Structure 1
Amino acid sequence: MGIKSLFGFGQARDKPVRNYSNGEYTFNFGRSTSGKSVNEMTAMQTTAVYACVRILSEAIASLPIHVYRYKDGGKEMVCDHPLYTLLHDEPNPEMTSFVFRETLMSHLLIWGNAYAQIIRNGKGEVLSLYPLLPNKMSVERDSNGVLYYVYSRYTDENPNMKKMGDITLRQEDVLHIPGLGFDGLIGYSPIAMARNAVGMTMACEEYGASFFANGANPGGVLEHPGVLKDPTKVRDSWNAVYRGTTNAHKIAVLEEGMKYQQIGIPPEEAQFLETRKFQINEIARLFRIPPHMVGDLEKSSFSNIEQQSLEFVKYTLDPWVIRWEQALKKSLFLPEEKKEFFIKLNVDGLLRGDYQSRMNGYAIGRQNGWLSTNDIREMEDMNPLPEEEGGNLYLVNGAMTKLKDAGAFAKEGTESTSEESEPQQPPDNRNRGGLR
């Protein structure tokens, strides 16, 4: 597809014809400058990429998800809405909510897009949700500018699709969560956009594996004082006895005045370990994961690791949460429901501090009247107290008063005294003390 057709140049504004296929951006995958071929599967074979994808996928999947209704300036949870059971328990008969969200989030992190087929009844209500593979999906527009999706099905991964080949899906039948992109319709794969960093990580792992496969000894030279008739035989016999980790530290026996001279660069001189550590941090930076969450505790301590975890929730997880919430509301609710209902992923549990900090915070809220006993018990996942036992009673410190009422009691006392007796003149002390 050319530049003009990609961005719609030279086409009528009322009849755009554009295609947003994931396959168009596969040029971002491929061979990196390190020589390693990077795609979604090879990238996941590196521990750093796998760890980052797993951390974010499991975090999104483990968050409580609920349906809420706007009410009197606040909100209330709605458990009898059909979407509540689908999102909270079972999106389809084959998956739990955790597995469904984990799968879509992994697609979002690897391919930059997450898709799910929406099965509706005759009234337009959602009955079930089934994940769709992003590398088989393309987004297109018809002659009127309406979006539709084309799914290329060649395997039996979806029980709702009966035929093979290209299957057209309407926009209202697809849940699409796009990642970061340039047009707002298709997200770009983080792995593809950073393929050189991922490729270098793969090259470092392969170098390390090859290093230990050769007995943790780089290549060397066998020197013979004379002329060898068959040098290949000598080399093969040497490798058969001394090559490999199982043959490491064996005592070599050299005959006929032969000498072994190592010519490889030791790993500490090549800074191999430092390079591997840097590449792990590079992948963590790509997904905005704190290094301590992927096993790098070099710069973490008891004093800052909690703060790093809170920053992970605020700056890494929260944008993904908002992306999910808005996409679910846009695709799943009926038009008349969007004004009344919304979906929320609760991250409050991840923002809780240690036990002492929580207790101190509850004490402040209780003493200042904006937390009741049942409010605190709910946040600690405890059963509420009955109303007659004061579970919903809000208290306030009696020593506190409004600023405008400060000193009012003194003013009232002065007024009552003036009404009871006439004001007295101050005594004349000018002639006291013998001074004239």
Structure 2
Amino acid sequence: MGILSGLFRSRDKPTDRTAGSSYSFFLGGTSSGKYVTERSAMQMTAVYCCVRILSEAVASLPLQFYRYTDDGGKEKAVEHPLYFLLHDEPNPEMTSFIFRETLMTHLLLWGNAYSQIIRNGKGEVVALYPLMPDRMKVDRDEHGRLYYEYTVYDSDDVDGRKGTNKVGRTVRLQPHDVLHIPGLGFDGLVGYSPIAMAKNAIGLAIATEEYGSKFFANGAAPSGVLEHPGTIKDPSKVRESWQATFGGSGNANKIAVLEEGMKYTPISISPEQAQFLETRKFQIDEIARIFRVPPHMIGDLEKSSFNNIEQQSLEFVKYTLDPWVSRWEQAMVRALLTPDEKKKYFFKFNVDGLLRGDYQSRMNGYATARQNGWMSANDIRELENLDRIPAEQGGDLYLINGNMTKLEDAGIFAADGNGKEENSDEEVLELEKQEDQRPGFRRRGQ
């Protein structure tokens, strides 16, 4: 352990803060010259839309807490305290939807989601409170053990009580007191902020949006130079007069009347020449690529059609949502369950409803499952959020088509187990004779 602890301590305090537990963004500077942080990035509609889609998707998925049964199946552990906390109300101030939406937003912007675990005297989890990622520091002590250090301000609620008057004090939390869901990272402990990693792309999107705003604010006309053949005593007054008369989108297309031989010469290229609109559109696709969200989900339908939009939605569930919910499930098992409980319980987000496809495809799938005997009527009704049929009325029966049989039993009605015909010729003749003697019976062809 001495050797391992020495290796752990070597990465306690990385020199580059973007490789550690917090992100300075190097003062938020980007190659476009725009200031980018997690909060300023949310002012971009594409970033806001991607974060909202993913956070609301994870928050709206049914989150269930299951127990393994003795027969190898599973059942909902509704009597366990964690079921109510995560399914309904993690703390007295939040619903489960708001709690998960908040943590997922933190995860998408800062790359980490933290929540303080409140336990009672028995060690049972009684509440979960979100913590701001930009105030959390993850480090190791001199023995190589992890700890979490959180900065608390006056308005914060810590340990279920209002904070003291001390401003900016730090609270040290042990790993069993923190639910930590890390995003993509290099050390497996702390995730990297997607906004920090893609700050140049987001900065360019902000710059193009600001350019468009200023373009229309200046009357949707290129800037230029007012030339006068003589000397102007007060150039600023002429400039302000021109701006007041022709500046702003409300003054667009006004006819300018120039006096005293003045001449207006534009010096800027047009937005079309600068491919302004194409740049804005590309940056929207770039931001969607960062969060792995299909462009049609943020309003870009250029490459979507009725033939592929459903497939893109299914891919969104499989390749975008599934990795996120797996992080959630495994992090909750690691932090909220005891070693003994980990053998008996597990968490599960139900994404089956998002993978069902359209109504006709679902009905065809249900019909196949029902006719082949691996789904009952109640199994189907539960997936469709319908009331169950009572068991005495056959709701739990598993049925198969009567015209299906095993290959080895295909000739069971023609021969017995020894391959001998069940009815000899004499027996067949005797049966026909008995039929002929039945009153009113007439054999075909007679």
TM over 0.5: yes
Deviates more, 1:37-46 or 1:256-265: 256-265
Deviates more, 1:70-79 or 1:196-205: 70-79
Instruction: Summarize the Cα distance change of 1:28–1:302 in structure 2 as closer, same or farther, 3 Å threshold.
Output: farther
Unpaired segments of 5 or more residues in structure 2? Answer: 428-446
Residues of 2 paired with 1:13 and 1:335: CA distance? 23
Instruction: Summarize the Cα distance change of 1:337–1:213 in structure 2 as closer, same or farther, 3 Å threshold.
Output: same
Asked if structure 2 preserves the Cα contact closer than 8 Å seen for 1:117 and 1:130, the reply is yes
Residues of 2 paired with 1:351 and 1:260: CA distance? 61
Question: Which of the numbers 243, 262, 282 marks the counterpart of 1:258?
Answer: 262
The amino acid across from 1:151 in the alignment is Y
User: 2:251 aligns to what?
Assistant: 247
Residues of 1 paired with 2:122 and 2:386: CA distance? 39
User: 1:128 aligns to what?
Assistant: 127
Shift of 1:249: 2.1
Residues of 1 paired with 2:108 and 2:154: CA distance? 23
1:261-283 deviations in Å (ceiling 9; x for gaps):
32221111211011000000000
Instruction: Summarize the Cα distance change of 1:23–1:141 in structure 2 as closer, same or farther, 3 Å threshold.
Output: closer
Residues of 1 paired with 2:378 and 2:144: CA distance? 53
Instruction: Summarize the Cα distance change of 1:81–1:37 in structure 2 as closer, same or farther, 3 Å threshold.
Output: same
The amino acid across from 1:245 in the alignment is S
Shift of 1:232: 2.7
Unpaired segments of 5 or more residues in structure 1? Answer: 1-10, 423-436
Q: Do residues 70 (structure 1) and 68 (structure 2) align?
A: yes
RMSD between superposed Cα atoms in Å: 2.0
Shift of 1:418: 7.8
Instruction: Summarize the Cα distance change of 1:399–1:150 in structure 2 as closer, same or farther, 3 Å threshold.
Output: same
Instruction: Summarize the Cα distance change of 1:144–1:404 in structure 2 as closer, same or farther, 3 Å threshold.
Output: farther
Shift of 1:23: 5.6
User: 1:279 aligns to what?
Assistant: 283
Aligned length: 412
What are the residue-to-residue correspondences of 1:36-435 with 2, within 5 Å?
36-71=34-69, 72-160=71-159, 162-163=163-164, 164=166, 165-412=169-416, 415-416=420-421
TM-score when scaled to structure 2?
Answer: 0.88
Could you say what secondary structure the match of 1:186 adopts? coil
Identical pairs, percent: 66
1:29-53 deviations in Å (ceiling 9; x for gaps):
6211111111111111111111111
1:398-423 deviations in Å (ceiling 9; x for gaps):
1111233333433439613586679x
Residues of 2 paired with 1:158 and 1:53: CA distance? 26
Asked if structure 2 preserves the Cα contact closer than 8 Å seen for 1:35 and 1:199, the reply is yes
TM-score when scaled to structure 1?
Answer: 0.90
User: 2:430 aligns to what?
Assistant: none
Asked if structure 2 preserves the Cα contact closer than 8 Å seen for 1:120 and 1:127, the reply is yes
Residues of 1 paired with 2:304 and 2:341: CA distance? 46
User: 1:429 aligns to what?
Assistant: none
1:337-384 deviations in Å (ceiling 9; x for gaps):
110001111111111211111111111111111111111111110101
The amino acid across from 2:284 in the alignment is I
1:156-214 deviations in Å (ceiling 9; x for gaps):
23242634401111110000000000000000000101111111111111111111111
Shift of 1:154: 2.1
Asked if structure 2 preserves the Cα contact closer than 8 Å seen for 1:125 and 1:334, the reply is no
User: 2:12 aligns to what?
Assistant: 19
Residues of 2 paired with 1:30 and 1:68: CA distance? 44
Asked if structure 2 preserves the Cα contact closer than 8 Å seen for 1:28 and 1:195, the reply is no
Residues of 2 paired with 1:265 and 1:63: CA distance? 50
1:17-38 deviations in Å (ceiling 9; x for gaps):
3536856542466211111111
Asked if structure 2 preserves the Cα contact closer than 8 Å seen for 1:118 and 1:173, the reply is yes
The amino acid across from 1:347 in the alignment is V
The amino acid across from 1:283 in the alignment is I
Asked if structure 2 preserves the Cα contact closer than 8 Å seen for 1:29 and 1:195, the reply is no
1:197-238 deviations in Å (ceiling 9; x for gaps):
111111111111111111111201223344433333222210
The amino acid across from 2:44 in the alignment is T
User: 1:4 aligns to what?
Assistant: none
Deviates more, 1:353-362 or 1:151-160: 151-160
Residues of 1 paired with 2:138 and 2:425: CA distance? 88
Shift of 1:308: 0.6
The amino acid across from 1:79 in the alignment is V
Asked if structure 2 preserves the Cα contact closer than 8 Å seen for 1:38 and 1:199, the reply is yes
Asked if structure 2 preserves the Cα contact closer than 8 Å seen for 1:108 and 1:179, the reply is yes
